[in-house]
Amino acid sequence: MSVPVLKQAGDLLARYDVLISDVWGVVHDGLWALEPACEALMAYRERGGAVVLLSNAPGPSQQVAGLLDAKRVPREAWDRLVTSGDVTRALIAQSHPNQAYHMRRPGGGGGLAGAGVAGAAPGGAGRLGPGGGEPLSPRL
């Protein structure tokens, strides 16, 4: 059984209010924006649809938005950007406030800033929240 490949998706997309699109390989090729895809997303938005870009990048969406700008993906091609980093930060903040500890390489980016997560390079001391140096919660 073969999967049909659409040459145009206008009729299909007209049935939906929101389009969720991957980023890598869809709106850019790793170096530059893929113009036909960006044009299609802008056309979808012009017809009243909303475009959400979905990325498995570990950083926050603001950081990825800057990368998309550098690759010349037009901001007019999307309404919202969600990364796995955004989802991770939100889940940690909701389920383990002041109880998470982020291990990272020396000089590595925090990525979890604003999520109530302490960040320290391996060997560094620290823990989140009012408990100071208390051990991590066993729930983690």
Instruction: Quote the distance between the C-alpha of residue 40 and its chain's center.
Output: 21
The amino acid at 60: P
Mean per-residue pLDDT over the chain, rounded: 79
Q: Whose CA is closest to 71, among 19, 39, 109, 27?
A: 27
Structure confidence by residue, pLDDT tens digits, 53-104: 999 998 899 999 999 999 999 999 999 999 998 998 888 878 877 666 666 6
* 21/23 Cα distance (integer angstroms): 6
pTM for the predicted model, two decimal places? 0.70
Residues whose CB falls within 8 Å of the CB of residue 105, separated by 6 or more in sequence, listed in order: 121, 122
* 18/10 Cα distance (integer angstroms): 13
* 85/44 Cα distance (integer angstroms): 27
